[in-house]
Structure 1
Amino acid sequence: MSATVDRIASKLADEALKVMDQTGNERFYVEVGDLIGSASQTLEEAFLTEVRVRLAARQAMAYIKKHKAPET
């Protein structure tokens, strides 16, 4: 993918996740992806990848924190 598509997808993912955090709508990114996909399938795929990577990272960090031994 081009650097432009990656940059735009990353920015859109950041903004979508902010809205999701503010509203509690966990599927908001799907709505945004559908909107993007009507104009550019390439951007839609890049956006969804960016969101999923960030969501997976959040889950992984929560899991690690849960299992991390307390520091002394």
Structure 2
Amino acid sequence: MGTLEDLTDALARDVIAAMDEIGDDRFFEKVSKLLLDMSPTTQEAYMTAIRVRLAERRARKYVEDALHAARAAKAKAPE
């Protein structure tokens, strides 16, 4: 990755961790607005990183929940 992508991806990881810690699932938008005022290019790269990471998180949770449900059903099924 280039410098811009590296920096904004690291920021996205940190912001998502902060969102979890402070319990504000829209915190990333506040950071986005701050970036937009300073650098639209940086804001765009940051939002791409945020969307990718949040989408991956949601998809991973879906897969984990589906596996958990399938394993629980299998464990309850008579042999």
TM-score norm. by structure 1 comes to 0.89
Structure 2 match to 1:39:
38
The alignment-based identity, stated in percent, is 34
Mapped partners of 1:33, 1:53: distance in 2? 15
Mapped partners of 2:55, 2:62: distance in 1? 11
Mapped partners of 1:31, 1:50: distance in 2? 15
- 1:54 Cα deviation after fit: 0.7
Structure 2 match to 1:64:
63
- 1:65 Cα deviation after fit: 1.0
- Return 5+ residue gaps in structure 1 as ranges: none
**3-state SS of 1:38 partner:** helix
Mapped partners of 2:20, 2:42: distance in 1? 22
Cα RMSD for the two superposed structures? 1.6
Q: Equivalences for 1:1-72 in 2 at 5 Å? A: 3-68=2-67, 69-70=70-71
Name which one, 1 or 2, has greater alpha-carbon Rg.
2
Mapped partners of 1:39, 1:4: distance in 2? 17
